[in-house]
């Protein structure tokens, strides 16, 4: 059974589900990119590991994190061309997660690489600072910067009620962008790990911040799908 939502599924932001979803989405993007890039580029799946700490009353909660991301490198030389990241809740809610995420991004920018940030997370503070005044209403974003121009962002947006966007993934200056259909990637990742496994009669995880209007929309939508 596919995800019942038209775009991103907010039930995947549950901390018990997110790590598997992030892994499957990155793996799916890897599989989508590999056939197109095999001649001139090498696509690497890389893992970042760290421990976050959160105070709780008189104790400290420590959590281990593994976050995979993609590096697209030229075959000769092994120059980094594009960094592709899927933002995790820990990148937006913990000091360690944010710091290491931004360090990885800064290293890519220093190498004159393009960066792609796919943010399908609602909780926490955005990782990137840019003007949002002119953007349409949105819940999720894909932010793209191009090599040598790190201050300029190309922003692709989506709301909870709509499909995830297509976006242009930049490569080396002498190559055309690759058009990525994020909704297709999402659906493949969902089918691999979560089809038939989520009980949508249960409420969302309390860490997922949504307005009352959007919670009512979710309730109505799931009723239409006969899942409530």
Q: Digits of tens for pLDDT over the chain (228 positions)?
A: 789 999 999 999 999 999 999 999 999 999 999 999 988 999 999 999 999 987 777 777 889 999 999 999 999 889 999 999 999 999 999 999 999 999 999 999 999 999 999 999 999 999 999 988 889 999 999 999 999 898 899 999 999 999 999 999 999 999 999 999 999 999 999 999 999 999 999 999 999 999 999 999 999 999 999 998
Q: Is residue 92 part of a domain?
A: yes
Residue 146 within a domain: yes
The closest of 11, 8, 72 to 38, measured between CA atoms, is 72
Helix (H) or strand (E) holding 115: strand 114-119
Residues in the chain: 228
103 in any annotated domain: yes
Provide the token pair at 205. 């995880």
Determine contact, residues 42/33, Cβ cutoff 8 Å.
no
Q: What is the pLDDT of residue 104?
A: 97
At residue 59, the pLDDT reads 76
The predicted pLDDT at position 54 comes to 79
Residue 4: inside a domain: no
The pLDDT score that the predictor gives to residue 218 is 97
Domain count, the chain: 1
Tokens of 213: 């209007």
What are the E-state strand segments in 57-165? 59-74, 80-86, 114-119, 140-146, 149-158
Q: Which domain holds residue 66?
A: 10-224
Residue 3 lies in a domain: no
Number of C-beta neighbours around residue 31 at 10 A:
12
Q: Please enumerate in sequence order all residues whose Cβ is within 8 A of that of 161, keeping only pairs 6 or more positions apart, or say none.
A: 6, 7, 217, 221
Q: Is residue 1 part of a domain?
A: no
Structure tokens of 207?
């860490």
| Alpha carbon distance 61, 70 (integer Å) | 29
Q: Does residue 97 fall inside a structural domain?
A: yes
Other beta carbons less than 10 A from residue 38's beta carbon: 11
């Amino acid at each position: 059974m596919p995800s019942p939502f038209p775009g991103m599924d907010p039930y995947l932001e549950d901390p018990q589900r997110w790590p598997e979803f992030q892994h499957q989405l990155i793996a799916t993007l890897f599989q989508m990119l590999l056939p197109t890039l095999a001649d001139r580029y090498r696509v690497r799946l890389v893992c970042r590991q760290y421990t976050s700490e959160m105070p709780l009353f008189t104790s400290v909660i420590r959590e281990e994190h593994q976050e995979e991301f993609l590096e697209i490198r030229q075959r000769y030389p092994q120059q980094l061309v594009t960094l592709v990241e899927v933002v995790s809740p820990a990148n937006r809610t913990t000091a360690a997660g944010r710091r290491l995420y931004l360090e990885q991004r800064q290293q890519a920018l220093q190498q004159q690489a393009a960066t792609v940030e796919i943010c399908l997370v609602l909780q926490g503070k955005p990782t990137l600072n840019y003007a949002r005044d002119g953007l349409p209403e949105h819940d999720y974003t894909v932010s793209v910067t191009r090599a040598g121009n790190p201050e300029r962002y190309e922003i692709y947006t989506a709301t909870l009620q709509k499909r995830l966007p297509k976006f242009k993934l930049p490569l080396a200056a002498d190559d055309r962008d690759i058009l990525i259909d994020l909704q297709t990637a999402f659906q493949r990742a969902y089918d691999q790990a979560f089809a038939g496994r989520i009980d949508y009669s249960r409420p969302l995880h309390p860490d997922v911040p949504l307005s009352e209007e959007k919670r009512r929309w979710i309730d109505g939508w799931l009723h239409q799908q006969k899942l409530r």
